[in-house]
Amino acid sequence: MVPGVNRILILDYGSQFTQLIARRVREAHVYCEIHPASRGRDLAFIREFAPKGVILSGGPNSVFDPGAPTADPGLLELGTPILAICYGMQLVAYLAGG
């Protein structure tokens, strides 16, 4: 990691638009990386990555589907702004107890 660099972490939950989201972030001259949804369960990785924001992409699942991808509820307590899109928003509501 390069210290002092503003960066956005994109967690990919299977959306067909994840690459488009990343491109738009980069067009705004902001560094971002796409990582698989499984990284959402790894708070140590997220803390080390030190993003200025996290984007949770959409995806084809419902949070109630067996084996649906999830994230560590501690993600909501990191104090990092989260933009949740489609499935990502379902996941935020689910992790918050909704």
Tell me which CATH code domain 7-14+21-78+85-95 carries. 3.40.50.880
CB 71 within 8 A of CB 93: no
For residue 2, what pLDDT is reported? 59
Q: Is the pLDDT of residue 8 over 70?
A: yes
Residue type for position 33: E
- What are 33's strand-pairing partners? 9
Q: Is the pLDDT of residue 64 over 70?
A: yes
**pTM of the predicted structure, to 2 decimals:** 0.93
Q: Is the pLDDT of residue 1 over 60?
A: no
Q: Which secondary-structure segment (H or E) carries 9?
A: strand 7-12
Residue with tokens 């960066």: 7
Q: Is the pLDDT of residue 24 over 80?
A: yes
Per the model's pLDDT, the better-predicted residue between 1 and 31 turns out to be 31
Mean pLDDT of 32-38: 97
